[in-house]
Amino acid sequence: MEQPKPLLPMPIKAAPYKHQINAFNFVCEKLGLVPFKTMPSACAALLMEMGTGKTITSIAVAGALYQAGKIRRVLVVAPLSILGVWREEFEKFADFDYSLAVLEGSAAKKIDTLRHMRGSPLQVAVINYESAWRLEKELAAWNPDMIIADEGHKIKTHNIAASKAMHRLGARARYRLLLTGTVITNKAIDVFSQYKFLNPAIFGQSFYVFRNRYFDMVGYGNHTPVLKKSMEQDLMKRLHSVAFRATKAECLDLPETTDIVRYVELESAAMKIYRDLVRDSYAELGKGDRRAAGGNSRTNQLQDDGFSAREQGSANTESSITVTNILTRLLRLSQITGGFIGGDEGGPVQRVSTAKQEALEDIIEDVLQSGKKLAVMARFIPEINAICRLLEKKDIRYSLIMGGVKDREEQVSAFQNDPEVQVFVGQIATAGLGVTLTAASTMVFYSLDYSMSNFEQARARIHRVGQKENCTYLYLTAKSTVDEKVLKALRDKADLAKMLVDDYRSGLNPFAAGG
């Protein structure tokens, strides 16, 4: 089938995929940018699964509206953990003049930033949902022409403060876009609040009128809404009247695998602990260089610190104790980026950050909202325990493979075959071999160990025979930390230990971020 053509030029610095062109054309018609057989609605929903390009399509639409003289100010409202994604994607893809600010810091700082966003070029303000309702008055005064609600399922509950604020802000804006994997999974009632933001004319202004029209209330106390069979067709027709749907299974021109680096920012207190340890680690490397230690004692130390056999071997091939010191200290820094510190010599483990967990929570919600399963890989036991607690708190069933788990086959079988088991949690070193996880096409690396073979084996759990969809890998990477260096080394197939030692011997701090 031949490639469709955009109805308008797509102002992006990339060759769009077929489904992205179709989505762009659909939205342009809905927003009245091009003639269409029905009346334009000034709104659209992009129900596109993670990895299919909701953001780049939205950027193209915003650019087309700006170039047509229709908009001057865009407000993007998104979960806190992905605000930075919008900055990165605009920098990477926007092929038009714009000025973008992520509203962060204190309320006063956010307001001050907003007040300075005037004139040309296109002004893009990015804010999280909680801040949007707290600063609703200031955002309304800024008067955005277009509002993009990213991960729109965040406002699926009609009577919470964030949803109400988005309904009011949406009513003032000329154009509205809703982005989510899908507006419904098992709970069709979630449609109402998201579509009230988009266009209240579709399902009405009153939740209770909507509920009584489309649902029977059943179960104990009549608290469970069940969609009426007689109304199912009407609901779906209205829902899809302004919605473009794209699943990874349908997007045949997508690459087999897509890597997404999801940057997270450690809290200021956690970042201070991290930087102090970077400084102290570098200062103490010289002492380690001068210590005498035999091969056996070095191996024992590496085993105690949780290094794999391959990493121990890499360290022991070096004649200098420097490798042992560098890898051991790097491990401590990696633990902090995952949110924990301590545990040495049986001491207590202390939680110092929840940044990665909050990012993971948004990803879990997005993937499961699309009716799909998710695989999560992590290196450290405290991280895995925290992930499991999060899933239990959300009443999400999961399978688990880590050191000490005996029923590996049962855990894998449950994930692969039981629709109620939605998430797989694995420790990279123990879940990377002999495990098939093709029930998921999305994998999150919460943290990484330093073994290339472990990394590639873990990735191969979902990308293997039996996988019917393209695979998406997300890497939770703490900004300005060793996470960046470790991920780059693994993706470049570089010897991390050698690279760090070379940095040190060149007079550089091997723990400095980036590279």
Same domain for 211 and 357?
no
**Confidence band for 38, pLDDT divided at 50, 70 and 90:** low
What is the count of structural domains for the chain? 3
Per-residue pLDDT of 198-230, as tens digits, reads 999 999 999 999 999 999 999 888 888 999 999
Task: Write phi, then psi, for 397 (nearest 5 degrees).
Answer: -75, 145
Contact 240, 184 (CB under 8 A): no
Same domain for 429 and 299?
no
Do the strands 340-342 and 349-351 form a parallel or antiparallel pair, or are they unpaired? antiparallel
Q: Is the peptide bond before 121 cis (omega within 30 degrees of 0)?
A: yes
Average pLDDT value for residue range 281-291: 72
Domain assignment present for residue 253? The answer is no
User: Domain containing 197 — which CATH number?
Assistant: 3.40.50.10810
Same domain for 159 and 274?
no
Residue 165 has pLDDT above 60, yes or no: yes
* Alpha carbon distance 504, 323 (integer Å): 10
Same domain for 54 and 174?
yes
Closest CA to 127 of 140, 174, 41: 140
Do the strands 43-48 and 243-246 form a parallel or antiparallel pair, or are they unpaired? parallel
Same domain for 341 and 357?
no
360-378 burial, b if ≥16 CB within 10 A, otherwise e? bbbbbbbbbbbebbbbbbb
Same domain for 171 and 38?
yes
* Alpha carbon distance 359, 197 (integer Å): 24
Contact 474, 445 (CB under 8 A): yes
* Alpha carbon distance 490, 494 (integer Å): 6
Mean per-residue pLDDT of the chain: 89
Average pLDDT value for residue range 91-120: 96
Same domain for 280 and 202?
no
**Confidence band for 507, pLDDT divided at 50, 70 and 90:** confident
Average pLDDT value for residue range 271-299: 71
Q: Which residue, 191, 218, 247, sits at the end of a domain?
A: 247
Residue type, 355: A
Contact 67, 121 (CB under 8 A): no
Average pLDDT value for residue range 246-275: 92
Per-residue pLDDT of 383-431, as tens digits, reads 999 999 999 999 999 999 998 888 999 999 999 999 999 999 999 998 8
- What pLDDT sits at residue 311? 52
Residue 249 has pLDDT above 80, yes or no: yes
Same domain for 212 and 343?
no
Domain that holds residue 122: 18-247
| Percent of residues, the chain, with pLDDT higher than 70 | 90
Residue 131 has pLDDT above 60, yes or no: yes
Residue 1 has pLDDT above 70, yes or no: no
* Alpha carbon distance 433, 136 (integer Å): 50
**Confidence band for 292, pLDDT divided at 50, 70 and 90:** very low
Same domain for 243 and 299?
no
Per-residue pLDDT of 439-457, as tens digits, reads 999 999 999 999 999 999 9
- What pLDDT sits at residue 505? 86
DSSP H/E element including 183: none
Least confident piece of the model among 103-112, 214-223, 228-237, 268-277: 214-223
* Alpha carbon distance 246, 231 (integer Å): 24
Contact 360, 281 (CB under 8 A): no
Which of residues 457 and 317 earns the better pLDDT score?
457
Domain assignment present for residue 506? The answer is no
Question: What sign does the CA torsion over 232, 234, 237, 238 have?
Answer: negative
Domain assignment present for residue 9? The answer is no
Domain assignment present for residue 436? The answer is yes
